[in-house]
Amino acid sequence: MRAKIKQTLLIVCLFLFLFVVIGSGLHLNPGGAFIAAATGTPLLIYVFNRRLARGRVESDLRAGREGNSATCDGPAECPTEIPSGEVKDIVRQ
């Protein structure tokens, strides 16, 4: 419950920040500043979520490869590496 309230309050703060900064920086009237903040808030949330998700995926991939990669010659010897069917399809074409 606290996490949901925290997320909601952070979104409200981001909206108000964008409302003030965009409105005053671009010298918009209040309606224009409201629309800019209303469209910018979900966009910024999406961008930051994508950036954080990409960082988590990359760190997970690095953790699996850090083991004994020098001794592994192929996917049969290293169960952490998954063979890609996409690469095989591209090579065949």
Reported residue count of the chain is 93
**Residues 17-69: tens digit of each pLDDT:** 999 999 999 999 999 999 999 999 999 999 988 888 877 666 655 555 555 55
Tokens in use for 48? Answer: 């930051």
Say if CB 69 and CB 78 are below 8 A apart.
yes
- The residue ranges of every structural domain in the chain are 1-65
- Measured CA to CA in angstroms, residue 80 lies from 53, 65, 86 at distances of 21, 7, 18
pLDDT of residue 72: 53
**Residues 63-89: tens digit of each pLDDT:** 555 555 555 555 555 555 555 555 555
pLDDT of residue 19: 94
**Residues 4-24: tens digit of each pLDDT:** 999 999 999 999 999 999 999
